[in-house]
Amino acid sequence: MAKQENRDDEQYRARATALRLLARREHSRLELSLKLRQRRFEDDLIREVLDEYEAEGWLDDNRFADVYARQRLDLGYGPLRIMGELQQRGVRATPACFDDMDETAWCHNAIRLRDRRFGLSDLDDNWEEKARQARFLNRRGFSASQVEAALEATSLPEERGCD
């Protein structure tokens, strides 16, 4: 009888811990699994709790990907960086908010980020500064074509409804 009570107590603790973590922010299944593992819950119990929470709709990798991508978009990150960070968190799906973004929209984001950080001065004669700004935009996760478009821009693009 004591073993069953101990198992029930562990299940309760694992569920409560997972729910408390999800109440703070969205997590991917991998993130939540790692956090429960750090708290020394058994793998079978973790899998059981996460399966149950997915069935309830409390844990959803697609929802996590969309929320995470929107936050990173707002902070000025590009598609390559966002997708890489999602993959590190165990999410392989493309976020739903990316459906609204085409190459032009990504270029506009890169131009706005460059304007906010450096201004949109003409860089044709200053290769050192051009390279510095290109490295910054690259680290932020913009593709080579998006970086090139941002470096060539001397004015902000017209606002579009895709952001």
The confidence band for 41, taking pLDDT boundaries of 50, 70 and 90, is very high
**What is the dihedral angle through the alpha carbons of 103, 109, 114, 117, rounded to the nearest 10 degrees?**
-160
Q: Encoding tokens for residue 130?
A: 């051009």
Domain boundaries, the chain: 2-59, 65-97, 103-152
Q: Which amino acid is at 56?
A: E
* CATH architecture under which domain 103-152 falls: Orthogonal Bundle (1.10)
CATH 1.10.10 is the classification of domain 2-59: yes
**% of the chain residues with pLDDT over 90:** 85
The pTM of this model reads 0.85
Q: For 83-112, how does the pLDDT look when each residue is reduced to its tens digit (9 = 90+)?
A: 999 999 999 999 999 998 999 999 999 999
The pLDDT value recorded for residue 2 is 52
CA angle 61, 146, 84 (to 5 degrees): 25
Report the mean per-residue pLDDT for the chain: 91
Task: Give the three-class secondary structure for 82.
Answer: helix
